[in-house]
Amino acid sequence: MSREKIRTRIKFCGMTRAEDAQFAAALGVDFVGFVCVPGSARALLPQAVQAIAETLPAGIKTVALFQNAETAVVQEYLRHFQPALLQFHGREPAAFCAGFGLPWIKAVPMGEPQVYADWERDFAAAAALLADSHTVAGGGGSGHSFTWAQLPAAADRRLPLMLAGGLTPETVGSAIHAVRPWAVDVSSGTESGTKGIKDHRKMRAFVEAVRAADEA
């Protein structure tokens, strides 16, 4: 009997330039993420996100990342472009996350001890949980990893898991073998050394490493 082929979804986050987002689409990634958090080195204004998103092919899904944003801020971004997913990286309750009529992802701050099952219970309506290396007080995109053993086994998860936190072309294969996530999310691991500026060689190498892990 043939074994079902595994396909790990890929999200490239922290896009600030159209050429990087377009290259991600050409590589066949599933999601392109934009940081909508004032003060972040990768943050873009709504009009800038709109300008990049309009250059992308229809098949690629865009993600808007917020952290403790006011309702009016989220609505202002949604007035300029319609992401496929919202991603909430702060202390937002489930009712807030669900209040915009779009599928959403909730980030779990694995940089400090968590009862992962509690997050699955409290955010049961999420499209996925994103396990990242930040703490409750911090944001993502730090380039640091966390101990994957903190996560429940794939068979014990109730929601799809998107894995983030210090992933690189060199480490993502091991992460996929160890965690079996539904998707992987990378920001700093595909950058040139400047936040928000992508290295196309690293982007390609990351995608190739994910596909090699899936084949294995």
Q: Where in the sequence numbering do the catalytic residues fall?
A: 13, 132
Could you tell me which of 92, 83, 139 has the C-alpha nearest to residue 111? 139
Provide the 10 A C-beta neighbour count for residue 137. 10
**What backbone phi and psi angles, to 5 degrees, belong to 2?**
-75, 145
Q: Are strands 161-163 and 9-12 parallel, antiparallel or unpaired?
A: unpaired
DSSP 151: S
Q: Answer whether 125's CB lies under 8 Å from 100's CB.
A: no
Beta strands in the chain (DSSP E): 9-12, 31-35, 61-66, 85-88, 104-109, 128-132, 161-163, 183-186
Axis crossing angle, helix 172-179 with helix 200-215, rounded to the nearest 10: 30
**What is the b/e burial string over 146-172, where b = at least 16 CB atoms within 10 angstroms of the residue's CB?**
beeeebeeeeebebebbbbbbbbbebb
**What backbone phi and psi angles, to 5 degrees, belong to 97?**
-60, -35
